[in-house]
Amino acid sequence: MSLHPSDKRLDEYAALLIRIGLGLRPGMTLVLSCPVDCAPFARKCAAAAYDAGCREVVMSWRDDALSRMKFLHADDAIFDTTAEWQKQFFNGYAEQGAAYLAIAASDPMNLHGVDPDRIQRSTRAGGRDLRPFYDAQMGNRFPWCIASVPIPSWAKKVFPDLPEEEAMDALWQAIFDAVRVNGRGDAVSAWQEHLARLERLTDTLNTLRFARLHYTNSLGTDFTVALPEGHIWQSGADRTADGHVFVANMPTEEIFTAPDRNSGNGTLVASMPLVHDGNVIRGIRFTVRDGKITEACADEGEEVLRAAIAVDEGASYFGELALVPTDSPVSRQGILFFQTLFDENAACHIAFGEAYPCLENAARMTREERIAHGLNDSITHVDFMIGTPDMHITGITQDGKEIPVFRNGNFAL
Ligand code: ZN
Ligand code: ZN
pLDDT digits (tens, 9 = 90+) for 366-405: 888 999 999 999 988 999 999 999 999 999 999 999 999 9
Residue 235 CA to ligand 1 center (angstroms) comes to 9
Distances (CA, A) of 281 to 40, 217, 276, 306, 413: 34, 21, 7, 11, 33
Residue 153 CA to ligand 2 center (angstroms) comes to 25
Question: What letters, b where the CB count within 10 A reaches 16 and e where it falls short, cover 307-321?
Answer: ebbebeebbbbbbbb
257 and 357, same domain (yes or no)? yes
pLDDT above 90 covers a percentage of the chain that reads 84
Round to the nearest angstrom and report the end-to-end CA distance of the chain.
42
Q: Is residue 192 part of a domain?
A: no
Look at residue 125 and tell me whether its pLDDT is greater than 70. Answer: yes
Q: Which of 130, 161, 178 is the last residue of a domain?
A: 178
Ligand nearest to the CA of residue 251, numbered in listed order: 1
Ligand nearest to the CA of residue 382, numbered in listed order: 2
Ligand nearest to the CA of residue 344, numbered in listed order: 1
Residue 128 CA to ligand 2 center (angstroms) comes to 21
- pLDDT for res 116: 84
Residue 318 CA to ligand 1 center (angstroms) comes to 12
CA-CA distance, 39 to 47, in Å (whole number)? 12
Could you tell me how far CA 215 lies from the centroid of its own chain?
22
Q: Which of 130, 158, 178 is the last residue of a domain?
A: 178
CA-CA distance, 217 to 386, in Å (whole number)? 9
Residue 179 CA to ligand 2 center (angstroms) comes to 19
- pLDDT for res 2: 58
CA-CA distance, 222 to 156, in Å (whole number)? 36
Residue 258 CA to ligand 1 center (angstroms) comes to 10
162 and 276, same domain (yes or no)? no
73 and 214, same domain (yes or no)? no
- pLDDT for res 123: 86
111 and 219, same domain (yes or no)? no
Q: Is residue 75 part of a domain?
A: yes
216 and 147, same domain (yes or no)? no
pLDDT digits (tens, 9 = 90+) for 219-264: 999 999 999 999 999 999 999 988 999 999 999 999 999 999 999 9
265-269 and 349-353 as β-strands: parallel, antiparallel, unpaired?
unpaired
Q: What is the CATH number of the domain that holds 132?
A: 3.40.1830.10
Look at residue 5 and tell me whether its pLDDT is greater than 80. Answer: no
Please state the rounded mean pLDDT for residues 319-324: 97
Compute how many other C-beta atoms are within 10 angstroms of the C-beta atom of residue 373. Answer: 21
CA-CA distance, 135 to 248, in Å (whole number)? 15
Mean pLDDT taken over the chain: 94
pLDDT digits (tens, 9 = 90+) for 178-220: 999 999 999 999 999 999 999 999 999 999 999 999 999 999 9
Ligand nearest to the CA of residue 342, numbered in listed order: 1
270 and 317, same domain (yes or no)? yes
- pLDDT for res 340: 87
- pLDDT for res 366: 85
Residue 344 CA to ligand 1 center (angstroms) comes to 6
Ligand nearest to the CA of residue 234, numbered in listed order: 1
Please state the rounded mean pLDDT for residues 319-328: 95
213 and 116, same domain (yes or no)? no
214 and 174, same domain (yes or no)? no
258 and 361, same domain (yes or no)? yes
Q: Is residue 56 part of a domain?
A: yes
Residue 175 CA to ligand 1 center (angstroms) comes to 18
Cβ–Cβ under 8 Å, residues 405 and 411: yes
Beta-strand (E) ranges in 2-142? 29-35, 56-62, 99-103
- Which stretch of 15-24, 28-37, 68-77, 106-115 has the lowest confidence by average pLDDT? 106-115
Residue 147 CA to ligand 1 center (angstroms) comes to 15
Look at residue 4 and tell me whether its pLDDT is greater than 90. Answer: no
- Which stretch of 72-86, 162-176, 333-347 has the lowest confidence by average pLDDT? 333-347
164 and 223, same domain (yes or no)? no
237 and 306, same domain (yes or no)? yes
Domain count of the chain?
2
Q: Is residue 324 part of a domain?
A: yes
Ligand nearest to the CA of residue 235, numbered in listed order: 1
Q: Is residue 110 part of a domain?
A: yes
Q: Is residue 49 part of a domain?
A: yes
134 and 265, same domain (yes or no)? no
Residue 92 CA to ligand 2 center (angstroms) comes to 27
Residue 351 CA to ligand 2 center (angstroms) comes to 5
Residue 376 CA to ligand 1 center (angstroms) comes to 15
Look at residue 1 and tell me whether its pLDDT is greater than 60. Answer: no
Q: Is residue 204 part of a domain?
A: no
Q: Which of 158, 178, 198 is the last residue of a domain?
A: 178
Cβ–Cβ under 8 Å, residues 107 and 155: no
Q: Is residue 31 part of a domain?
A: yes
Could you tell me how far CA 322 lies from the centroid of its own chain?
11
CA-CA distance, 31 to 90, in Å (whole number)? 9
- pLDDT for res 367: 83
Please state the rounded mean pLDDT for residues 307-321: 95
- pLDDT for res 380: 87
Provide the domain limits for residue 273: 209-411
CA-CA distance, 199 to 35, in Å (whole number)? 33
Residue 7 CA to ligand 1 center (angstroms) comes to 31
Residue 51 CA to ligand 1 center (angstroms) comes to 32
CA-CA distance, 188 to 178, in Å (whole number)? 14
pLDDT-derived band at 120 (thresholds 50, 70, 90) equals confident
